[in-house]
Structure formats: structure tokens, C-alpha cells
A and B are shown apart, each in its own frame.
Chain A
Amino acid sequence: MLDAQIKDALIRIVGQQNYTDSLIDMVSYSYDASEHRARPSCAVWVENTAQVSEVMKLADREKIPVTPRGAGTGLSGLSVPAHAGIVMDLTRMNKILELRIEDRLAVVQPGLVYADLEKALAPHGFFFPPDPSSGKVCTMGGTVGTNAGGVKGAKYGTTRDYVLGLEVVLADGRIMRTGGKTIKNVSGYDLTRLFVASEGTLGIITEIALKINPKPTVTTTAMASFNDLEDAGRAVSEVMRSGILPSVLEILGRETILAINQNTDLKLPEVDALLLAETDGYTKTETEFQMETVLEVFRRNNPGMVKLATSPEEAAQLWTARKSAYAVLARIKSHFVLEDVTVPIGKVPALLKGIQAIAKKHEIQIATFGHAGDGNLHPQILYDGYDPEQVRRMEAASDELFKLAIELEGTLTGEHGIGLSKARYMTLEHDAVSLEMMRTIKRAFDPNNILNPGKMALDAA
């Protein structure tokens, strides 16, 4: 329970109506979209940078942990208040401050929902390319805090490639700016990049300057099935080597396909893998030319079927399978863990096969789908969380999964972040020197360790 004096001080900063310690808020702020849970002492809704700064000054002085939060859709426990304290909900700071199309610039507040940014850019024919699957609800602060990816990563990269500058409030309440509003900027250390994917552990982001792109108006979509995983994997590598960049290259594994067929009327071919590809541009000639290259790759890798969508309705139909994957898998068992291990593109087949072997060895269901085009797969481990035996097997399978990814020269996480979920695997991927440097940086920014403490293995000595 928070000290009465501190409660009063917080209320003085944000106002009575923007402070809460009521049960219903404390419970909902205990969770994000991961399986972690920890209850905060209180929560505040902040409306501007000044309030954020005052709250941080107070928290730093009193050594109270602060966990920043947007929509709470993180999959690794990033916004779960592991050490209690204050949850700082930034969703009310949700405006677009500036939209300057000729400068390819949008300056936004962290609580802005991704879908609202898209809606504002669409009439100008522009878009923000990273397209996270949670775009309808996720907020830009979290998007920057995790360097969110999405289905367009293979061609357009991730959030990091589009953040030009930030306004950040540090742990002690000091306010600073990083980067700027120019497309190119090499002035001083690139602190912007330090904050992107820092998961709220180095500062609270209160303003984001984003680069935006003109939006291609035409897309061409196709799907191919592969009876053999190796063929699918080879097709992925060859597409990415072929000289064109598809805007989307997604994969659905066998387990996922079976689950989709059991729960929908889609009647997908029950094969080792389905690949969904999309090319984009400004004329049909252009997109079809690029897609022809993709289709040639598919054709020479023993596909079962190859289907090119000839209308927007057909394209939408091809997408339905990929879009329904997460939903269908979520219904199968009472619990699941969604991972996002990423490997070099050429290693995708090995990763897929490795996941199958792990599932078999530990007798647990793992369904895989994901962004084959940039090597970022989503193995989803399905289990009954109320059965301690299944939990044990899930943990053993997870362990092996991360080891496999690292062995394949990959990383623990391509886009969801480390948070709580993968903290204990950090030593698998990072050498002792780099981990020590991360902790040194953390100490420099947050000597009292109050910003989202307990995450990313930054606490361990």
C-alpha cells in the first residue's frame, strides 16, 4: 500500500481524477498480454510531459518503481509492474502533434493508437510501414519501446528505421530530446536508437517524431503450399535472394494449418507449410512482374498448389488463413506462450524442423507461423496451464527453443522484447561484456533502478 503522503503528492501532480488505487484498476494493471502478473500499488493517468516529469521526480526521490504503460498489449511482460510501485498509464497522451507530409514527418504522443495514426495518414496517401498485428489497439510508445515489427518487415524494416527523434523524461524527471525532425542526422550519439526497444527501462517516452512513407497503391497476393518443410524453407531463402523484395512473406506451419481447419471452414491443404506472399508498387505491371519472380521460385521448389489472387476479394481470402492463426490457436488450450525467435533467413528451414523435433520430444503442441521473409517465426506453445506436468514440459520446450535459435545464429526475440519472459535467457545470447555494458548504461540513466525494474535481466549483478 502506498504511503498516504506519497498518494497526496501524486494527486497534487495529476489531479484526483487521474489517480487510482482501486481494486479494479490494480488488477487490470497487473497484466499485459503475456502470462505474467504483478500488482502495482497505484496508477496514474498522465496528460502531459510536465506531469510525467513531476511524477518521476517524486518517484526517484522516494525510490518508488514506475512502470510505463500504453495499451498493455505487450507479449513479454514489459508493462507488468514486477516490483509493484506506480503504473504510469500514458494512453491519454494520444494526439498527433504535427503532420508534415512534405517533410515526411509525423510527431505523435506515446498514447496514440497505431490505427489512428494510419487513419490520419491515409487521406494523404502515406503510411507508417511497420504494421504490427495488434495495430488496432497498440500504442506508439510501446511500438517504439519494443521496436515493433509486423508483416511488412521483410521489405520495410521495423519501427527503429522510422524513429527520427524523441522527447524523453529520465528517471530523475529531467527532460531531454534525442535526434530531431530531419530524415538524416548524425549529430552526437544516436540516443534515439538507444531508447528504441529499451522497454521503458531508460526513460519515459513522451513525444515521438516519425518518418512516414508514401503508400504503394497496388498489391498482388499469392499463396503456395509445400508438402515438405525443406522445400518451403528453400523457397523462402530463394525469394529473398531473387533480386526483388516482397512486401510480405509469411509462413504457416502444419500444426497451425490443422488447427485452422479444425476451427474454421477454410479447408486449407494439410501440408508442411503454406507461404503467403505479397508484392506492392504503383502499377499492376510492376507488382505482377515482382510476383512472377516469386511464383517462379515457388514453382521450382515442389509446391503442392500455387494460387495467384486475381481480385481484391481473392486476396482477402488468402489473407484470412494467416490472420486467423493467432485466434484459432488461442482457443485450443487454456494457456499458450507465443515466442518470436528470429534467425538468419537461410536458417528458417532448420528452425522449423528444430521446432517440430522439440515438440515431439517434449510431447507438447507447438504451432508455428510468422514472418518468414525476415526470419522471424512465431512458435506458439499450447498447454494446459493448470496441469503442472504440462507447465513443466512447456518450460523445457521453451528452454530448448531458445537454445536452438541461438545455435542457429539467431536471437531470442525479433520484435516482442525481452521483458520478463526471456530475461533468464539473456546470457545465452549476450556475452558477459555486453551484458555488463547494458547494466552500466542502465545505471547511468537510472541510478536508483526505478524505471520498469526487474526486466531484461538488467538487475542481476
Chain B
Amino acid sequence: MEAKYDFERKYREQILRCSRCGFCQAVCPVYGATLRPGLNARGKMLLLKEVMDGRIDLSDELIETLFQCTTCASCTHNCPSGVQVPEIVKTARMDMVNIGSCHPAFTGMNEVLKKHPNIYAEDEAEEFGREKKRQAKYVFFAGCVGLYRETEATEAALAVLDKLKVDYTLIEEVCCSGVLEDVGFPLNDALVQTNIDRILATGAEAVITGCPYCARTLNNKPQYAPLRAQGVLVMHIAQFLQDYDLGVHTHKKVTYHDPCDLGRHCGIYEEPRQTIRKLAPNFVELPHHHADALCCGAGGGVRGAYAKNSIDMARRRLREVEETGAEVVLTECNSCVHNLGNAKLRKQKFTICTTTQFIRDLMEEAG
């Protein structure tokens, strides 16, 4: 039988390898928050198997599960059969979009990025009072969440770079558009080209970003190859800071939340910890950490399409923070900061912020 959809052409063998053991239920954040097996990785694979076998077809009815996956890859990490669920789900999303079945939040997102330079359709980016477009060694790329939601985190990152006298410039950035591939659409070529042009115009040898997702996009997507072809490196600020001696310390009990996009997806676990341990000797790990870290629930478009469940997932992660008794939970992703921040209950007294924000605060306290 000729494969009808891309997901089958590319991943048939993997989908068949799913042995229905259900072990993914132990780690899937969507399942953890909803206890609904239809939304779990196994449920998704079973549905796709039935599509491949011709028992059912892709349709609007599958939107609720195929578009409700944070692509955190916890399932893959725990799957005895090594099924790469996020990749399969993303391809299935594209197949869904091709037949006209897409979650309205995402069709919307694709349209938004055709007309606006960011995913929020907002016109007023935060201004940080730093120069843009000058010639410099580094470009700092904030990403949409950093420009429109977690502006404090961006300001802090810039303040730290200033203090360290790093030669950087901002640019008139536009959305890296990587998120579109997560929700069934191709990257936006116009936006990609704009970013490439503006980065190259600065003559920078590297891009530093606070957003792990932007880092992944610029590093891995073929559309950004011209950037890499010019030898421009792209790194997350955690990688940039790891060898600096920041000269500040705290006695506070600090813990760290591994963002999925930095941890499981990029294998970057130790660099942030290296920096944190230098500042905060009283460091504790969360019950689930490194490759076992619990997803905050924001990724894969879930925060936009299924916000209530997204925040419930974040709440589950914050219960782990409570268990450690930490006063501060640090992370390296603005999206995580945002979702966890929304989910935090008033009675939970710990603070949530990026490592650079914490560093900036300590620097200010030190005078």
C-alpha cells in the first residue's frame, strides 16, 4: 500500500516499533497533567498506526492530540524502542496542515508571521537603550519571548554583558520562525533572510542568544545555512558565560530547571551548572534533572493552543521545586520562565528567573 502521508513515508518503521508498553506515561508532561491516554505518546502512535493501516484517516478529530505535544522528548528518552515521537508528531502536523486540519492557534501563528516580525502580532518591542546594528564581535539575539514577554530577563542579560565589557550589538531582529516547523508549517523565508542579512551586516563572528529555541533553529535549520557558511557561530548565553568568573556569590539554596530545548534537545546540561555552582555553592538538583527533567509545558506550541493544560504542567514542575525547599529556581529559557512564572502560586515563595537575571541581581547587590 502506497504511503499516503509524509509521516508514514519517513517514520513508518519507527511507528511500528512502538510496542505499546506505555512506559511513556511515566514521563509525558501532557499525560501527567491530564491522565488522558489519548494525549500520551503511546496514544499518538496508536492513532498514527491506525491511519497507516487505513482504519482511520487524518482529520480534525486528531487535532486535539497531534497538536498537544510539547515536543519535549521525555517519551523518546524513556522509550525502550527508541521511538522519536516529537519528530513523528511534527511531521504528522505538517500532513495535517496539508489536508487543511490545523489547530486555529497555529494557522493564526503562520498568518501572524507573514505580517508581523514576532509571534505575538505586537508592534512595540521593548527598547533596551543599547545600540543596534553596529559592527561588533557578537550579536545578542533576544528572541520573541525575550522581546515581548520576559523583557526583564533580556535587560538582565544585557546588563551582565555590559558589566563583562563584551563587544556586542543588538539588531532589529525578527522572529527566527523556528516555531513554525513545530506547528505544521515551513519556516518563513522572508524572516529568515532578514535575520541572516542583519546578523551578517554587523560583521559579528558569533551570535549569543538567551533563547535555546532560537539557538537550535539558527544552528540546525538548513534555511540558516548561509549564516553558518560565513563561519558565524551561534551559542546560548549559558555556553558563553561558563568560563567567566563573575565574582558574585550567594548562600541561598538554588536549584536549576533544565529547559527541554537546551537539555534533552542539545545535550547542554553542565555549562549552566558550572556557572551556577560558582555563584551558589548551596545548589540542589530537582528530583527530575538532566535528561530526566520535567518539561515546563510551554513548548511545541502547547502554551498557545492549550494554555490551561500548559500551566497545569508547569505547576507539576513547581511542586518538585517545593520538594527541594529551594529559594530560587534558575533556568536558561525565557519560555520556561514565563510559563513557570504564570503557574507559580502565591503561597510558593521561591523566585523563578534566568541565571543571567540572578547574576545581574547579585551584581547590583554587590554594588
Contacts and interface: CB of A to CB of B under 8 A. Distances in A.
Q: Are A and B in contact, CB atoms below 8 Å, in the complex?
A: yes
Interface in A22-43: 22-25, 27-34
Contacts of A89: 35, 37
A24 B16 contact: no
Contacts of B25: 71, 73, 137
Interface SS, A side: loop
B21 A33 contact: yes
A109 B202 CA distance: 62
A34 B82 CA distance: 18
B61 A23 contact: yes
A28 B46 contact: yes
Nearest to A334: B16
Interface in A299-336: 326-327, 330-331, 334, 336
A227 B88 CA distance: 43
Nearest to A75: B21
Interface string A94-122: 10000000000000000001010000000
Nearest to B12: A334
B19 interface: yes
A391 B44 CA distance: 25
Contacts of B42: 28
Nearest to A34: B20
Interface string B164-195: 00000000000000000000000000000000
Contact of A27 (B38, B64, B82): B38
A73 B43 CA distance: 12
A101 to B, nearest CB: 21
Contact of B22 (A24, A33, A45, A327): A33
A91 B25 CA distance: 12
A155 B94 CA distance: 53
Nearest to B22: A73
B17 A24 contact: no
B80 A327 contact: yes
B101 to A, nearest CB: 12
B52 to A, nearest CB: 11
A30 B23 contact: no
B64 A33 contact: no
B61 A22 contact: yes
Interface in A406-449: none
Contacts of B80: 326-327, 330-331
B40 interface: yes
Contacts of A390: none
Given A24-B47, A27-B43, A327-B80, A45 B35 contact: yes
B81 interface: yes
Given A73-B22, A330-B17, A334-B17, A24 B81 contact: no
Contacts of A31: 20, 46
A134 interface: yes
Interface in B9-59: 16-17, 19-23, 25-26, 35-40, 42-43, 46-47, 50, 56, 59
A174 interface: no
Interface in B70-96: 80-82
Given A29-B37, A327-B81, A24 B20 contact: no
A23 B56 contact: yes
A136 B75 CA distance: 13
B19 to A, nearest CB: 4
A27 B56 contact: yes
Contacts of B135: none
A72 interface: yes
A92 interface: yes
Contact of A134 (B23, B37, B46): B23
Given A29-B37, A334-B16, A137 B64 contact: no
A29 B16 CA distance: 18
A136 B23 contact: yes
A192 to B, nearest CB: 27
B219 interface: no
B239 interface: no
A211 to B, nearest CB: 25
Contact of B19 (A136, A137, A336): A336
Contacts of B56: 23, 27
Contacts of A327: 80-81
A32 B20 CA distance: 7
Contacts of A334: 16-17
B46 A33 contact: no
B62 interface: yes
A330 B16 CA distance: 10
A16 B17 CA distance: 36
A73 B31 CA distance: 15
A28 B19 contact: no
B107 interface: no
A94 B16 CA distance: 31
A90 to B, nearest CB: 10
B82 A331 contact: yes
Contacts of B43: 24, 27-28
A25 B61 CA distance: 10
5 contacts: A24-B62, A25-B38, A29-B37, A72-B37, A331-B82
Given A28-B47, A32-B22, A72-B37, 4 more contacts: A25-B38, A27-B56, A89-B37, A331-B80
Interface of A: 22-25, 27-34, 45, 71-73, 89, 91-92, 94, 113, 115, 134, 136-137, 326-327, 330-331, 334, 336
